[in-house]
Chain A
Amino acid sequence: MLEGSLRDFSLDDLLQMISLGGKTGELHLEGLTPFGKRKGIIYFENGEVKDAETEETRGEIAILDLLNIKEGTFRFVPNDTLHIKKAISKSIPDLVLLATSKLDEWNRVKSRVESVDSVFKMMTDDIPSEIHLSQTDWKVLMLLQKGMTIREAALKLNMTVFDVARIAYGLAALKIIREVGQKNPDTNEVKVKAPPKNFILRLIDRIRRL
């Protein structure tokens, strides 16, 4: 068994070692991704990925989530994985590439959707005269305008937080919704993003006196 921290041994190094060594077993991962905490297992057979699972998902969605863990711990258990059905056919380099592009897209999404705990307000001022939304876009919009966070909407719709965040990004770029704050998942308290009204009033007064 091999275990440690991803600070000392990066996930890339770990995957390369398992792949080149033709190892068979389970790689247990736990840590932080940009989409929240993740815990899961990647199953290998002769150095190739067979399947993956997290607490919420399985297969390719699960492994793409797990490959974005940057801080956390790992444990590789050499084990027979014959009971695991092969559900992932992509190679490790292809999966790493996909996970990286997902991370790049998330960085773009973050310009409008700061966190998976973001809450939104529906806007009516600037909506273009004609917009086309898919059924999924509508479902996401309906939940977000009720005050649900990205995370809550994803759970309700059985979607990944990334996919919901991507739709929210599109809706925000179209000025249909606007991020107004972030909800603390433990207390449900919403921290409003707006600048303090007091400051704006003081600034108005200051500029008038200039």
Chain B
Amino acid sequence: MKHYKIVVTGPFAAGKTTFIKTITEIAPVITEAPTTREEESSVKNSTTVAMDFGRITVDDESVLHIFGTPGQFRFNYMWSILSKDALGVVLLIDSGDKSIFEEAKDMLNFFRVKTDAPIVIALNHFNEKEHTTKEELCKIMMVPDSIPIIDCDATNKESVKNVLLKLLELILENEA
């Protein structure tokens, strides 16, 4: 059985664990711990500390593993470990939280330097928030043309599928 890997990354509370839960065919393996920092616990009660893990079986010969990284920069050693030999990277960003765009830009640069794998940015729309558009985000983060930005709802299976399909198209284009 051959294993391939896609990495889902993004700043704290971007919806990475939800993204994986939505698409995985197995019960996701989640490594969450209670948030201890005040600025984090006000947003959510727990955070990924090592990785999230989901799986999509393609056929008898091959399987896709989906790894979710921790969001905080202090866990960036896991970003390096998880991105090694990845087919591609999904950078998930909460479209309603402008305060994390700078951090997301740093993460984008980190992964662009660490890996040659294609990257797509998925702009996750949480409800009841003022959303940033793809065009605005592109400007703020100075995203190069080669990295597509797609709107996404991490709780919606069709939307998550759409992000993964865009990434796979990009992988195919890259190898052409």
Contact = CB atoms under 8 A, between A and B. Distances in A.
A204 B87 CA distance: 13
- Size band of the A side of the interface? 20 to 34
Contact of A179 (B2, B64, B116, B165): B116
A194 B175 contact: yes
A126 B109 CA distance: 12
A200 B168 contact: yes
A196 B175 CA distance: 10
A195 to B, nearest CB: 6
Interface string B1-16: 0101000000000000
A1 interface: no
A172 interface: yes
Q: A111, A173, A207: which has the most chain B beta carbons within 10 Å?
A: A207
B161 A197 contact: no
- Size band of the B side of the interface? 20 to 34
Interface in A159-204: 172-173, 175, 178-179, 194-195, 197, 199-204
Contacts of B57: 206
Nearest to B169: A204
A175 to B, nearest CB: 7
Contact of B165 (A173, A197, A204): A204
B164 A207 contact: yes
B99 interface: no
A208 B165 contact: yes
A197 B4 contact: no
A112 interface: yes
Interface of A: 111-112, 125-126, 172-173, 175, 178-179, 194-195, 197, 199-204, 206-208, 210
